[in-house]
């Protein structure tokens, strides 16, 4: 993890695109370190009550991107999760640019019963495979929300 002042990092590098994580003043006291992996992935590690919490913020390639870029992104994201210690609490905050529907297939444990859309797009295959390999699920699809609170 990088442990340098934020302003020093921002001033020394040129940034035209990418992801970031905005945290409050109180939370900065628990910050252990952060690592901008690339323009699509950043990891931030915090002290929490019982263990360390590592937040991985990502922005996946869009539907129109070529398959090589998409595969490279998911390979690098998999490597990032492999580097996180197994006893750390892992949180993935992501815009995966995928319409994740529940098709009743073998990846049912990835998507809960309250999924918003029933159709999917091409990014879903990569996302489901990644979630299956890492052991993640789409958390917001396991809770029932009022239609006014859902976004497609």
Residue range 41-84, pLDDT digits in tens: 999 999 988 889 999 999 888 777 788 888 888 899 999 999 99
Residue 23 has what pLDDT? 85
Inter-residue contact 44 to 31 (CB < 8 Å): yes
The total of other beta-carbon atoms located within 10 Å of residue 102's CB is 19
Closest CA to 44 of 30, 54, 59, 58: 54
Q: What is the DSSP letter of 139?
A: G
Inter-residue contact 123 to 65 (CB < 8 Å): no
Q: What pLDDT, in 10s, does the model give residues 72-106?
A: 888 999 999 999 988 888 888 877 766 666 555 55
Q: What is the DSSP letter of 61?
A: P
Q: Is the pTM of this model over 0.85?
A: no
CA pair distance 54, 46, nearest whole angstrom = 6
CA pair distance 134, 105, nearest whole angstrom = 18
Q: Establish how many alpha carbons lie within 13 A of residue 117's alpha carbon, considering only the half-sphere containing its beta carbon.
A: 10
Segments making up each domain of the chain, as ranges: 1-97, 99-152
Q: Which two tokens stand for residue 142?
A: 């396991």
The total of other beta-carbon atoms located within 10 Å of residue 117's CB is 12
The total of other beta-carbon atoms located within 10 Å of residue 44's CB is 22
């Amino acid at each position: 993890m990088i442990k340098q002042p934020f302003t020093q990092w921002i001033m020394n590098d040129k940034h035209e695109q990418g992801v970031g994580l905005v945290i409050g003043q109180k939370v900065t006291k628990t910050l252990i370190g952060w690592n901008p992996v690339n323009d699509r992935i950043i990891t931030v590690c915090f002290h929490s009550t019982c263990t360390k919490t590592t937040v991985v913020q990502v922005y996946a390639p869009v539907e129109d991107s070529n398959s090589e870029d998409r595969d490279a992104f998911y390979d690098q994201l998999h490597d990032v999760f492999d580097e996180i210690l197994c006893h750390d609490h892992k949180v993935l905050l992501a815009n995966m640019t995928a319409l994740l529907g529940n098709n009743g297939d073998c990846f049912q444990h990835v998507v809960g019963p309250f999924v918003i859309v029933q159709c999917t797009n091409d990014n879903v295959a990569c996302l489901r495979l990644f979630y299956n390999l890492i052991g993640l699920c789409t958390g917001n699809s396991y809770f029932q929300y009022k239609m006014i609170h859902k976004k497609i």
